[in-house]
Amino acid sequence: AAKNAGRNRYAYFTPALQVAALNRMRLTNDLRGAVKGQQLALYFQPIVHLATGRIHKAEALVRWQHPLRGMVSPCEFIPLAEASGLILEIGQWVFHEAAGWAQRWRAEVDQAFQISINQSPLEFQREGVGYDDWLRHLRTLGLPGQALVVEITEGLLLDANTTVSDKLLQLRDAGIQVALDDFGTGYSSLSYLKKFDIDYLKIDKSFTRNLAPSSSDMALSEAIIVMAHKLGLKVIAEGVETPEQRDLLAHAGCDYGQGYLFAKPMPATDFDALLRAQADQS
Distance CA 270, CA 144 (A): 25
**Stretch of residues binding ligand C2E (CB under 6 A), selected from 4-12, 74-82, 192-200, 249-257:** 74-82
Q: Work out whether 199 is an interface residue with Mg ion (CB under 5 A).
A: no
Name residues whose C-beta falls within 8 Å of residue 277's C-beta, 6 or more positions apart in sequence.
Answer: none
Q: How far is the CB of 280 from ligand C2E (least distance, A)?
A: 25
Helix (H, G, I), strand (E, B) or coil at 169: helix
Q: Work out whether 208 is an interface residue with Mg ion (CB under 5 A).
A: no
Query: What residue 109 binds from ligand C2E, Mg ion, none (CB within 5 to 8 A, per partner kind)?
Result: none
Query: What residue 78 binds from ligand C2E, Mg ion, none (CB within 5 to 8 A, per partner kind)?
Result: ligand C2E
Q: How far is the CB of 60 from Mg ion (least distance, A)?
A: 9
Distance CA 266, CA 45 (A): 6
Q: Work out whether 62 is an interface residue with ligand C2E (CB under 6 A).
A: yes
Helix (H, G, I), strand (E, B) or coil at 177: strand
**Stretch of residues binding ligand C2E (CB under 6 A), selected from 25-33, 100-108, 164-172, 233-241:** 233-241
Q: Work out whether 243 is an interface residue with ligand C2E (CB under 6 A).
A: no
Q: Work out whether 123 is an interface residue with Mg ion (CB under 5 A).
A: no
Q: Work out whether 144 is an interface residue with ligand C2E (CB under 6 A).
A: no
Q: Work out whether 97 is an interface residue with Mg ion (CB under 5 A).
A: no
Q: How far is the CB of 61 from ligand C2E (least distance, A)?
A: 4
Find the DSSP H helices in the chain. Answer: 15-34, 74-84, 87-108, 121-124, 132-141, 154-158, 162-173, 192-195, 205-209, 216-230, 243-251, 268-281
Distance CA 242, CA 240 (A): 6
Q: CB atoms < 10 A from the CB of 55, how many?
A: 23
Look at strands 234-237 and 256-257 and give their pairing: parallel
Query: What residue 186 binds from ligand C2E, Mg ion, none (CB within 5 to 8 A, per partner kind)?
Result: none
Distance CA 103, CA 84 (A): 31
Q: Work out whether 114 is an interface residue with ligand C2E (CB under 6 A).
A: no
- Structure letter (DSSP) for residue 10: G
* Ramachandran quadrant class, 182 (left: phi over 0; alpha: psi -120 to 50; beta: rest): left
Q: How far is the CB of 97 from Mg ion (least distance, A)?
A: 16
Q: How far is the CB of 73 from Mg ion (least distance, A)?
A: 14
**Stretch of residues binding ligand C2E (CB under 6 A), selected from 100-108, 116-124, 186-194, 267-275:** 116-124
Name the site residues for ligand C2E (rule: CB under 6 A). Answer: 45, 61-62, 73-75, 78, 94, 118-120, 123, 151, 181-182, 205, 238-241, 258-260, 265
